[in-house]
Amino acid sequence: MKSYRGFPKNLRTDRVLTLGVFDGPHLGHREILRQTVSRARRLGLPAAVVTFDDHPHGTLAPEKRPPQLALPAQRRVHFEAWGIQELFTVHFTQRLADTEPEVFVSDILCRRLRVRHMVVGEDFVFGRRGRGTLALLKSQGAVYGFGVTVVKARRLQGRIISSTNIRALVAAGEVAPARDQLGWPYTLHGRVVHGEGRGAQLGMPTANLETVHEIVPAPGVYIVRAHLQGRAWPALCHIGPKPTFHARGFVSLEVHIPGWQGHLYGRRLEVSFYQRLRGIRKFAGVAPLKRAIEGDWRQVRKFWPREKMPGTVFSQ
């Protein structure tokens, strides 16, 4: 996949493109991308995405800017996996926000990006004060010679799939329904840092994860999949305070990977969330805490029989 910053000059080919934040990206986005790729193949043109390096509210209304589900690198991986051939990443500025929709079409979509066909969601607006409606986009397409496909919002159990809904689910710890709407498990990336060594003292060493993600699931214990050195490991993740050991609100994000041998400090770790097992509880001592963790691990094995998780390392 080719990557561009901004709207380059002198592009030599026409293209089929879609434009949006695509935070997730979720199954609704995936349908838009699927139709973009399908149309591009029929026309023999590259399929392109125009997106932003930050949510537009970061410029227009910082106090309303939502926390982002995905890092830019994560979105890029999904775009490429779903067949997108060109990615244009734009820094959203006030000048861009103030661009009249007719000028955006003529100067950016047509002159710079050479759009032949555009695929958008049914809530798509563009240009100054959102004045660029679907009707205006279609009328401008008739003037400049490009087609427009409008994709209906995708629903799951009667509700529209949206980044807003998914953010709320993840923040509440509802990672299983969030996974259903995303089409993939919510995933955190980070670097393993030194912790208190409490897990090792219990005979269950953990990796303490430092992450730059803006949304971390609610405190609790989760069934996760840890990706490390090209392999996937069934694991447990503890997020939140440690009430058995700390009176005050000490917060951590720890991953227990049974079967892993060696040090993890400084390594990059990817953790995918599948199910919340329980909330955070204070135990009377170390022994009941260990029994609870052993019970959690039994739940992991029930969730992931070996035959359902090919390519995964299971401890014996």
The candidate with the shortest Cα–Cα distance to 300, out of 258, 262, 264, is 258
Counting beta carbons within 10 angstroms of the beta carbon of residue 116, is it exposed (0 to 12), middle (13 to 18) or buried (19 or more)? buried
Q: Between 136 and 251, where is the model more confident?
A: 136
| Closest to 90 measured CA to CA, from 106, 69, 104 | 104
When the pLDDT of each residue in the chain is averaged and rounded to a whole number, the result is 88
Cα distances (angstroms) measured from residue 4 to each of 1, 56, 152: 10, 19, 28
Q: Is the pLDDT of residue 200 over 80?
A: no
Question: What are 44-103's pLDDT values in tens digits?
Answer: 999 999 999 989 888 888 998 999 999 999 999 999 999 999 999 999 999 999 999 999
**Residues facing 207 on adjacent strands:** 255
Does 312 score more than 70 pLDDT? Answer: no
Q: List pLDDT tens digits, range 217-226.
A: 999 999 999 9
| % of the chain surpassing 90 pLDDT | 63
Q: At 227, which amino acid appears?
A: H
Residue 277, pLDDT > 80, answer: yes
Q: What ranges do the domains of the chain cover?
A: 2-159, 185-308
| Backbone φ, ψ for residue 223 (5° rounding) | -80, 125
The CATH superfamily holding the domain 2-159 is HUPs (3.40.50.620)
Of all residues in the chain, what percent are helix, strand and coil, respectively (each to 5)? 35, 30, 40
The dotted CATH code for 185-308 is 2.40.30.30
Place 280 in a pLDDT band, splitting at 50, 70 and 90.
confident
Nearest by Cα to 80 from 15, 25, 19, 118: 25
The Cα 49–Cα 81 span in angstroms is 13
- 3-state SS, residue 138: helix
Residue 285 has a pLDDT of: 76
Sign of CA dihedral 156, 162, 165, 170: positive
Residue 5 reports pLDDT greater than 50 = yes
Rounded mean pLDDT, 144-149: 98
pLDDT at 301 exceeding the cut of 90: no
Please answer whether residues 51 and 96 qualify as being in contact, where contact means their C-beta atoms are separated by less than 8 angstroms. no
Strands 115-121 vs 147-151: parallel, antiparallel or unpaired = parallel
Residue 25, pLDDT above cutoff 90: yes
Residue 8: pLDDT above 60? yes
Please say if the pLDDT value at position 203 is more than 60. Answer: no
Measured N-to-C along each axis, helices 163-171 and 175-182 cross at an angle, to the nearest 10 degrees, of: 160
Quote the pLDDT of residue 310.
45
From CA 144, how far away is CA 11, in angstroms rounded? 17
Instruction: Give residue 266's pLDDT.
Output: 85
